[in-house]
Amino acid sequence: MPEGAHTEQGIEVLASPLGEECPPTTGQLVLGAMGDKDVSRMLARLAPIAEGMIMTAVDYPRATPPAELAEQARRVFQGPILTADEVTHAVDMARAEAGPEGAVLACGSLYLVGEVRDLFDAD
* SS (HEC) of the chain: CECCCCCHHHHHHHHHHHHHHCCCCCEEEEECCECCCCHHHHHHHHHHHCCEEEEECCCCCCECCHHHHHHHHHCCCCCCEEEECCHHHHHHHHHHHHCCCCEEEEECCHHHHHHHHHHHHHC
Q: Is pLDDT of 1 > 70?
A: no
What fold, for 8-122? Protein-Tyrosine Phosphatase; Chain A (3.90.190)
Residue 2's pLDDT band, with cuts at 50, 70 and 90, is very low
Of residues 119 and 97, the one with the higher pLDDT is 97
pTM of the model: 0.80
* Mean pLDDT, rounded, for 93-117: 90
Q: Is pLDDT of 96 > 50?
A: yes
